[in-house]
Amino acid sequence: MGRLVELKLTMSLSIFLVAFIFALFLAAIMFILNFHPIYAIIGTMIFILLQFLIGPAIVRSSTRLRYLKPGENPWLESTVRELAEKSRIPMPRLATVPDNTPNAFVFGRTAKSATLAVHEGLLIKLNKDEIKGVIGHELGHIRHKDYIVMTVLSALPLLAYLVARGTWMAARFSVSSSKRKEEGSMRAAFFLIGIISYIVYIISLLCVMKLSRLREHYADAYSAYITKSPRNMQSALAKITYGLSLSLKPPSGARAFYIGDPALAKQEIHRIMTKKQEYDLDKDGVLDERELELAMEKEAKSTWSKINTLFSTHPPTFKRVLLLREIEREMESGRYTSDRVYAHV
């Protein structure tokens, strides 16, 4: 399918860039501490391997998901199987999460061991066509294998953050414990490592976030292709964003894996509601679907939204809807073919 190679190339470049930055970071630390670089390389590889191995277990535990038994939800099972066969990927394990917010995600070490989990709120608040669009999106992540890349890649900013916190605390502790010259030099080294670590953390995180946003657009486009209905995905995204904005729970640390980010949804809807009178065109006190759509379009173009997006795991909802609209228009024109699945990303 056309342009999928661009996603793979972007993934490869992102991995190379973050790895290169991290290599320089490790070299600087080893130089400051006068250690051999091999120890840092081995330690980093062990950390990434642990992240890869225990990541799925952490997701299962933190989300409290429950795997479905065969035949427990016939419609969901048959829909996922149908789309998985069309996608030419193995049937993922199905699970539900006891959460009333509308959301879904996939995780795993390989395509064969992948799990597709849906929140109970998604099954309740979305209709079957919209749920099918969400399933298509999640299967797109499995087909693109981007969730595996994100699991490995996100380990590097996390490690830089842990090093920064650890060295910063060590430096503060040494201040109150001794005044000797030798420990003063070590304290300065800790502070320098902490500063470098924070800089590396921010730069590498920005790279990871950019890739995360791009993969969401690709998964949205894939959903439109595999279900042949971009409009259902548009409707699903609107409901998911509004539903997530009402959640009282703090955002999960693994929110990059979800179809919608609760933190971003809250920000999007909050900014719109603070200008409710401006966007309530018919002055009936309620923002209908069209008014909300126009509001999201305007807010997506704001300077605040553009800056905030840099630190977001997901693109603004309206930008995702806009992509799906472009695909829908091309489908209606009859010019849409399998080699143009990602042409609008």
Judged on CB neighbours under 10 Å (0-12, 13-18, 19+), 20 is exposed
Can you give the pLDDT at residue 279?
Answer: 82
Can you give the pLDDT at residue 72?
Answer: 95
Mean pLDDT of the 145-149 span: 85
Residue 138 annotated to the active site: yes
Is 85 a domain residue? yes
DSSP string, 237-276: HHHHHHHHHT--SPPPTTGGGBSS-HHHHHHHHHHHHHTH
Higher pLDDT, 146 or 37: 146
Is 120 a domain residue? yes
Is 115 a domain residue? yes
Total count of domains within the chain: 1
Can you give the pLDDT at residue 287?
Answer: 75
> Which range of residues forms the domain containing residue 104?
4-340
- CA-closest candidate to residue 220, choices 315, 106, 289: 315
Mean pLDDT of the 202-206 span: 88
Structure confidence at residue 182 as a pLDDT band (50, 70, 90)? low
Instruction: Reply yes or no on whether the pLDDT at 304 is more than 70.
Output: no
Check 130, 138, 216, 268 and give the catalytic one.
138
Structure confidence at residue 93 as a pLDDT band (50, 70, 90)? very high
Instruction: Reply yes or no on whether the pLDDT at 177 is more than 50.
Output: no
Average pLDDT of the chain to the nearest whole number: 84
Structure confidence at residue 327 as a pLDDT band (50, 70, 90)? very high
- Give percent of the chain with pLDDT exceeding 90: 32
- CA-closest candidate to residue 266, choices 280, 251, 254: 251
Is 345 a domain residue? no
Query: Model-level pTM?
Result: 0.84
